Amino acid sequence: MPTPDAATLRRRAEIIADMRQIVPGEGVVDAVNEMRAFESDGLTAYRQLPLVVVLPETTRQVSKILKYCDERDIRVVPRGSGTSLSGGALPLEDAVLLVMSRFNEILEIDYMNRVVVAQPGVTNLGITRAVEDDGFYYAPDPSSQIACSIGGNVAENSGGVHCLKYGLTANNVLGIEMVLMNGEVVRLGGKHLDSEGYDLLGVMTGSEGLLGVVTEVTVRILKKPETARALLIGFPTSEQGGQCVADIIGAGIIPGGMEMMDRPAIHAAEDFVHAGYPLECEALLIVELDGPGVEVDHLIGLVEAIALRNDSTTCRISTSDQERLSFWAGRKAAFPAVGRISPDYYCMDGTIPRKELPKVLAGMRSLSEQYGLRVANVFHAGDGNLHPLILYDANKPGELEKAEGFGADILRLCVKVGGVLTGEHGVGVEKRDLMPEMFSEADLDQQMRVKCAFDPNHLLNPGKVFPQLRRCAELGRMHIHAGKMPFPDIPRF
């Protein structure tokens, strides 16, 4: 992480007093025991107390805080609900931790335009809850949806099990209000579609809190599908499971959800929730189809035939919503189930072209032997997003480092077969140093130049995403050929 700025640390008392001027009442937290609650996010291996925690309530306060910090070279780390799995909200010793949880109101529900306007601290599920009595819902459903905030979803471009059919956050957010590091407030998009200028909303989505602080979000809501039914299909090999997925999509079917688990994950889940999973298979596929009943019934028949052609050993079809949910129970409990069979686990998040699954699983098996650590896999099969869970024991010296090494090798493998480092958890601190595996220096420089347009002093969430920070002036360097400056008579400073 960047070296803490000694001058800022020395001025801590003064900064806290100034923050209290901007956010009166209980919105400034500086006692060590109270700041403990904020010392890490979902990536709990990393912990750090911030300089001070500030919980603003209005856009005006956010603007004042950022302007104050920008003028005094003070770093700021924004935080939503703190559920990041990549350390995106990890505090810095010399940074103000800007917690957006008091922005927790739904501002408008507009059925005529099918949008909800919410403050960023509203939870993902909170949006669906606000409209479900009228038959609507918000489509992206990250597994942390009960806790994660919609502002955090924008920062991470969160997905979920339904995103092959319904898209990611980027495809479901229509507008935001945001505050730049210099305190300026800008609105991007709104209830209308597309941008009048550059697609800055597209850049902001998934920018991991490095470009601006979101203070309002407009999302589109959809009518809930009439019905949903699921198939639970077992295969003797992961190749056959993978081929079944390819054949379903090749037949023109885009399921609402399509999830695969490997043998260790199946066994862990079954031992935990007794979902009735078949234990003899190597790959278990859950295919959920949603829409009008007549369409779902039609597609269930097609998928069943495809499964049989791929030598499925078991194929159960849900006949009630209760049975459908029981198919999901094991998958949804996969993480805690793995938590039961190992003191600690480390969740990875690569994406691969689907057809490479057998190769990547085989590679993981040999890495597992090499590192002497077990691994269980759950896989968003429709979109190629893989979540290997590496089992380790943090109390054994050196084992966390071993798990991290194993994880990094898995991600390198994903990149090698044409995939990417992170599908939905973000780069954060965790995968920062792996960025050069996927991007050249020129690629990363161009990304950092985008950062310079928003936050030229690198004060917002520094130390995340980029393996090395370069001053913006340095990035703007001129190429000098054979010692000749372009336009030599123009004065330069």
Partner 1 sequence: MTLYEPEELVLSARAGTPLSEIEKMLAERGQELAFEPMDFGPLLGGAAGRGTIGGTLAANLSGPRRIRAGAARDHILGIHAVSGRGEAFKSGGRVVKNVTGYDLSKVMAGSWGTLAVATDVTFKVLPAAETETTLVLPGLYDDAAVAAMALAMGSSAEVSGAAHLPEMVAAQVGEGALAGGAATLLRIEGFGPSVDYRVKHLREAFGGDARFDEISGDRSKALWRAVRDCLPFADGSQKPVWRMSMAPSEAHKAIMALRMAAAVEVFYDWAGGLAWLRMEGEPEAELLRGLIKKFGGGHATLVRASVADRAAIPVFEPQPPALAALSVRLKEQFDPQNILNPGRMG
- Using CB under 8 A as the binding rule, the residues of this chain from 243 to 302 that contact partner 1 are 246-247, 249-250, 252-254, 291-295, 298-299
Candidates 21, 58, 171, 468: give the one binding partner 1 (CB under 8 A). Answer: 171
Structure tokens belonging to residue 228: 């949903």
Determine, following the binding rule CB under 8 A, whether residue 465 of this chain makes contact with partner 1.
Answer: yes
| Choices 261-269, 391-399, 400-408, 435-443 (CB under 8 A): range interacting with partner 1 | 435-443
Max alpha carbon distance in the chain (Å)? 80
CB of 245 to partner 1, least distance (A): 8
The CA distance from 139 to 257, in Å, is 12
**Which residues within the stretch 350-409 sit at the binding site for partner 1 (CB under 8 A)?**
351-355, 380, 383-385
- Residue 419 in contact with partner 1, rule: CB under 8 A: yes
Q: Which of residues 181-220 bind partner 1 (CB under 8 A)?
A: 184-188, 190-200, 202-203, 205-207
What are the distances in angstroms from CA 97 to CA 80, 337, 385?
A: 10, 33, 31
Give the DSSP H/E element, type plus range, for residue 131. helix 124-131
The 8-class DSSP code of residue 273 comes to: H
In whole angstroms, the minimum distance from the beta carbon of 303 to partner 1 comes to 13
User: Minimal distance in Å, beta carbon 12 to partner 1?
Assistant: 31
Q: Does 225 engage in binding with partner 1 (CB under 8 A)? A: yes
Judged by CB under 8 A, which stretch of 145-153, 340-348, 394-402, 423-431 contacts partner 1? 423-431
Strand partners, 189: 175
Q: Which stretch binds partner 1 (CB under 8 A): 23-31, 64-72, 98-106, 416-424?
A: 416-424
Rg (CA), the chain: 24
Residue with Cβ nearer partner 1 (200 or 375): 200
Nearer to partner 1, 49 or 472 (CB): 472
Residue ranges in 58-97 that form contacts with partner 1 under rule CB under 8 A: none
Residue 330 vs 382, nearer CB to partner 1: 382
Query: For residues 19 and 173, which CB has a smaller minimum distance to partner 1 in the complex?
Result: 173
Report the alpha-carbon distance of residue 350 to residue 437 in Å, rounded: 13
Shortest CB 456 distance to partner 1, Å = 8
Q: Distance between CA 269 and CA 452 in Å, rounded? A: 46
Say how many residues touch partner 1, by CB under 8 A.
Answer: 95
- Residue 191 makes CB contacts below 8 A (sequence gap 6+) with 110, 113, 115, 174, 175, 218
Residue 164: HSE in the Cβ half-sphere, 13 Å Cα cutoff: 23
Separation CA 206–CA 288 (nearest Å): 27
Site string for partner 1, 5-34 (x = CB under 8 A): ------------------------------
167 binds partner 1 (CB under 8 A): yes
In the block, residue with structure tokens 């029981």: 326
H/E/C letters for each residue in 184-240?
CEEEEECCCCCCCCCCHHHHHCCCCCCCCEEEEEEEECEECCCEEEEEEEEECCHHH
Q: Binder to partner 1 among 69, 130, 161, 170 (CB under 8 A)?
A: 170
20/224 with CB nearer partner 1: 224
CB of 391 to partner 1, least distance (A): 24
Q: Phi and psi dihedrals of 159, rounded to 5?
A: -110, -120
Q: How far apart are CA 467 and CA 441, in angstroms?
A: 11
36 phi/psi in degrees, rounded to 5:
-50, -35
Note whether 130 binds partner 1 by CB under 8 A. Answer: no
Of the two residues 50 and 257, which places its CB atom closer to partner 1 in the complex?
257
Q: How far is CA 39 from the centre of its chain?
A: 19
In the complex, minimum distance from the CB of residue 231 to partner 1, in angstroms, rounded to a whole number: 17
Pick the piece of the chain touching partner 1 (CB under 8 A) from 5-13, 15-23, 336-344, 450-458: 450-458
Least distance (Å) between residue 161 CB and partner 1? 11
Question: Which residues contact residue 345 at a Cβ distance below 8 angstroms, ignoring those fewer than 6 apart?
Answer: 335, 338, 339, 389, 390, 391, 392
Between 342 and 447, name the residue whose CB sits nearer to partner 1. 447
Partners of 52 in the beta sheet? 96
Provide the minimum distance between the beta carbon of 413 and partner 1 in the complex, in angstroms, as a whole number: 14
Q: Where are the alpha helices (DSSP H) in 455-493?
A: 472-475
In the complex, the smallest distance separating the C-beta of residue 72 from partner 1, rounded to whole angstroms, is 21
